[in-house]
Amino acid sequence: MSKPSNTAFSAPKGVPDYVPPASAEFVAVRDGLTRAARLAGYGHIELPIFEDTGLFARGVGESTDVVSKEMYTFADRGDRSVTLRPEGTAGVMRAVIEHSLDRGQLPVKLSYAGPFFRYERPQAGRYRQLQQVGIEAIGVDDPALDAEVIAIADAGFRSLGLDGFRLEITSLGDDTCRPQYRELLQEFLFSLDLDEDTRRRAEINPLRVLDDKRPHVKEMTAGAPLMLDHLSEEAKAHFDEVLAHLDALGVPYVVNPRMVRGLDYYTKTTFEFVHDGLGAQSGIGGGGRYDGLMEQLGGQPLSGIGFGIGVDRTVLALAAEGKTVASPARCEVFGVPLGDDARARMVVVAAQLRQAGIRTDVAYGGRGLKGAMKAADRSGARLALVLGERDLEEGVVGLKDLATGDQRPVPLDDVVAQVGAFLGEG
């Protein structure tokens, strides 16, 4: 039912708006995390916002909370069941298969950024529209590649100045040891007094029960057998080599044998970045290897590894450390024209400065000098260009340092070079 026409709208529950000046921090975090992937040769992939529901049911796992409780699923006008993407890996894998990227050079290295959707109870750091940066390296099963993926996430965080986080890592084994461990874990779980839903989860994927956050379930499962104690020789060798590479790269970590990720496709190396400054929602990113996912989605039996980093949570983690990565300045130069002819020329000067890569804004609306200079100060610019009618006749513009108040005339024909030189000196 639509709202009355005189009632203001607000954003949907659990969906944050990022507006200036806070949006500058969001963009700086997202771009910083993405840059770390670019430096390692990961190409950009733009994914559909919605996909066939079956992709996530099959790829993410029907026993997960994501699929069973949190997906935004609806029938489109063609009566097809589609779902707003809850995570990125399944969509990336679908695209790799569909476009035959796996038939070329391996590994296929891709990165993505954008919104994902989960119907969760909103709280700080947990939104129904969450923003992520992710990477996937598909087609090569190499412990050194596992370490590279983890190191990219670590480098991304550190490039933003974040340092109050820790990397937790474990191995979830492979096909040679997971079936035996699954039986062992189920035997343990079925001996407990589990409620019906939890018992059903134990039947589908017993690892999910170890991820249950309810205190009484955590207490009951405290003595559960751990995957790390039941790894095959091959899986253990893989994990040991990953840790050796991380040591060589100088990436600190903590082995957490009880860690379980929220998606079913993980195998072998599995990891999470945690920041204790965020309270209950302490995870700021994580990922792992997924050996059987591509084949499960109809492709070749190729392995892959990747991560998803929460941009929203990284912004909150920086705030918890009292840090910021964004400049408060909207622009570097602010044009102050005084009069109609001066405004017409200033618009051209601003365009020339922008073409030179200098962020420039102009005081519009015919405001006076006092109001325009207040706007210049609020913009965060370092320079104001003050242009009156007499200046225009003389072919000059006043170049004013907003930090010191010093002002000097410079030729209009040379203003781009003069501004560039001033900013370069700073």
Which DSSP string do the residues of 55-89 spell out, in sequence order? HHHHHT-TTSHIIIII--EEE-TTS-EEEE-S-SH
Q: Which of 289, 320, 351 is the last residue of a domain?
A: 320
Is 278 contained in some domain? Answer: yes
Q: Would the pTM of this model clear 0.85, i.e. be above it?
A: yes
Is 104 among the annotated ligand-binding positions?
no
How many structural domains is the chain composed of?
Answer: 2
User: What is the pLDDT at residue 21?
Assistant: 86
Residue 3 has what pLDDT? 61
Residue finishing a domain among 320, 353, 385? 320
Residues 32-48, mean pLDDT to the nearest whole number: 97
Q: How far, rounded to the nearest angstrom, does the alpha carbon of residue 393 sit from its chain's CA centroid?
A: 52
Residue 62 pLDDT greater than 90, yes or no: no
Whether the Cβ atoms of residue 98 and residue 70 lie closer than 8 Å to each other: no
* pLDDT at site 146: 98
The reported pLDDT for the residue numbered 59 is 72
**Predicted local confidence at residue 255, as pLDDT:** 97
* 179: three-class secondary structure by DSSP: helix
Residue 273, beta-bridge partner list: 167, 285
Same domain as 142, residue 67: yes
Beta strands in 126-275, from DSSP E residues, in sequence order: 129-138, 165-171, 254-255, 267-275
In which band, very low, low, confident or very high, does the pLDDT at 261 lie, cut at 50, 70 and 90? low
Alpha-carbon distance of 396 to 392, in angstroms, equals: 6
CATH code of the domain covering residue 75? 3.30.930.10
Is 132 flagged in the annotation as binding?
yes
Domain end among 320, 351, 386: 320
112 appears as a binding residue in the annotation: no
Within-domain flag for 326: no
> What would the mean pLDDT of 357-380 be, rounded to a whole number?
94
What element of type H or E holds 409? strand 407-411
Is 136 annotated in a binding site? The answer is yes
117 plus 150 within the same structural domain: yes
Q: In what order do the strands lie in the sheet with 396-401?
A: 360-362, 333-337, 383-387, 396-401, 407-411
Look at 10-14, 204-208, 408-412 and tell me which has the smallest mean pLDDT: 204-208
In a domain, 203, yes or no: no
Does residue 66 register a pLDDT over 90?
Answer: no
One domain for residues 113 and 46: yes
CATH of the domain at 396: 3.40.50.800
Range of the domain at 136: 22-177+231-320
State the pLDDT confidence band at 65, using cuts at 50, 70 and 90: low
Packing angle between helix 178-189 and helix 196-204, nearest 10 degrees? Answer: 160
Average pLDDT score, the chain:
92
125 shares its domain with 253: yes
Which of 310, 190, 219 is closest to 262 using CA atoms?
310
In-domain check, residue 338? yes
| Nearest partner of 260 among 61, 114, 127, judged by Cα | 61
The answer to whether 53 is annotated as binding is: no
Residue 186 domain flag = no
Pairing between β-strand 360-362 and β-strand 396-401 as defined by DSSP bridges: unpaired
Residue-wise pLDDT tens digits, 222-237: 999 999 999 999 999 9
Determine whether the annotation assigns residue 265 to a binding site.
Answer: yes
Whether residue 103 is annotated as binding a ligand: the answer is no
Within 13 Å, how many C-alpha atoms sit on residue 239's CB side? Answer: 26
Residue pLDDT, tens place only, 169-187: 999 999 889 889 989 999 9
Q: Do residues 96 and 245 share a domain?
A: yes
pLDDT, greater one: 7 or 155 = 155
What tokens appear for 309 in the block? Answer: 């980093």
Tell whether the model's pLDDT for residue 42 goes beyond 80. Answer: yes
pLDDT of res. 267: 85
Query: Percentage of the chain with pLDDT > 70?
Result: 96
Instruction: Write the pLDDT tens digit of every residue in 305-354.
Output: 999 999 999 999 999 999 999 988 899 999 999 999 999 999 999 999 99
> Using CA atoms, how far apart are residues 302 and 145, in angstroms rounded to an integer?
14
pLDDT of residue 123: 84
Determine if residue 219 is labeled as part of a ligand binding site.
Answer: no
Residue 349: φ, ψ to 5°: -60, -45
